[in-house]
Amino acid sequence: MFIATNRLFVPAERAEEFEAHFRSNMRTFLPGVPGLLRSTLLKPTREDQPYVSVNEFESEEHFRAWVASDSFREAHKRNRGIARHVTGNAVETFQHAEDMVLPQQRTEQ
């Protein structure tokens, strides 16, 4: 598995519009991307934290093919609308090292 993340810093007053635009782009351009297993947008819990976009691919080759695709270019051309909300970003890539999936556990309170 190959994982690409993008940390996106968005001022709080622009968060709602950013989320709507980003969500629309995800739903429009990501279905059917070969090798894409999952795409997630994580919302910050504090104003000083970034949003984090997480895309999980079957392989780095699938990721590179997506980045070179017309779909990627079209999505990022449309991202100009998102870009006005982002004050900074950082793309990072990772190879999968370990997973641990636990059964649902209850905690007594």
Print pLDDT tens along the chain (109 aa).
999 999 998 988 889 988 998 899 899 999 999 999 999 999 999 988 999 999 999 999 999 999 999 888 887 776 666 656 677 778 888 898 888 888 887 776 6
Cα gap 92→94, rounded to integer Å:
7
Q: What angle, 0 to 180 degrees and rounded to 10, lies between the N-to-C axes of helices 70-78 and 15-29?
A: 160
Closest CA to 29 of 3, 9, 53: 53
> What CA–CA distances, in Å, run from 27 to 40, 49, 102?
11, 24, 29
Looking at residue 3, its pLDDT comes to 96
* Secondary-structure class of domain 2-95 per CATH: alpha beta
Q: Domain limits of the chain?
A: 2-95
Question: Can you read off the two tokens belonging to residue 47?
Answer: 């104003």
Looking at residue 85, its pLDDT comes to 64
